[in-house]
Amino acid sequence: MDLFPEHRTKPVAIAAGACWLPGFALSVMPTLWQSLQQHLAAHPAQQMMTPMGLMSVATSSMGHWGWVGSSQGYGYLAYDPVTGQPWPAIPPVILQLAANAAAQAGYSDFVPDSCLINIYQAGSKMGLHQDKDEQDFSQPIVSVSLGIPATFLFGGAKRNDASAKIPLQHGDVVVWGGESRRFYHGVAAIGAHQHPLTGNKRINLTLRKAK
């Protein structure tokens, strides 16, 4: 009998270079959550404008490079446009988690310089897109899911390629590298759910080496 069913750690290969690590973040969640709450109190997530319109997801950032949108465009900025200050450093618990997850998936020495915090509520979604504003595509991306569940849409190298649906839950980590690094992906509209830690929200941390 499995006495600790919440500690699911068996990796699942989901595409060339991409690896789903269910529950991988659960063991550090108390520390991670405390750092995240502290960060968000000082740097509240905001719905960013983009040339395509207002995002339904609210965002904040940590690390040397923060992801910022405006009606003029979007990309990485070293300063929080709201405060004019540099973004706070990525806390050690998150850096270590990202490096451990990347190593587990076969990418050694992953040192992200950007941690985007995406906050979803019922109805929030992210359309199919590629992450292509980073300099070095040999570096993977690590994503950490917290709170209410999401259906992650994972396509292929072309926008019209079929998408697989991946049910991401609290504590799941996914590492995207190799061939999958340029694949189209998105998040289906979030349902109305409640989670004991995050309430009615889904929070995703996207760790990247931007520059």
CB of 55 to ligand MD3, least distance (A): 10
Task: Output the six-digit token pair for 199.
Answer: 């309430």
Residue 172 in contact with Fe ion, rule: CB under 5 A: no
Contact mark string toward Fe ion, 123..162, x via CB under 5 A: --------x-------------------------------
CB neighbour list of residue 162: distance below 8 Å, 6 or more residues apart = 155, 156
Q: How many residues does the chain have?
A: 211
Task: Output the six-digit token pair for 161.
Answer: 């390629």
Instruction: Using alpha carbons, select from 139, 141, 208, 196 the residue that is nearest to residue 171.
Output: 196
Residue 172 in contact with ligand MD3, rule: CB under 6 A: no
Nearer to Fe ion, 80 or 131 (CB): 131
**Residue 100 CA to chain centroid, in angstroms?**
15
Question: CA-to-CA distance for 80 and 87, rounded, in angstroms?
Answer: 6
3-state secondary structure of 100: helix
Residue 76 in contact with ligand MD3, rule: CB under 6 A: no
CB of 169 to ligand MD3, least distance (A): 12
Q: Using CB under 6 A, which of 39, 43, 185, 209 touches ligand MD3?
A: 185
Residue in the structure block whose two tokens are 């109190």: 41
CB of 153 to Fe ion, least distance (A): 11
Specify the stretch interacting with ligand MD3 by CB under 6 A; choose among 23-31, 43-51, 76-84, 177-185.
Answer: 177-185
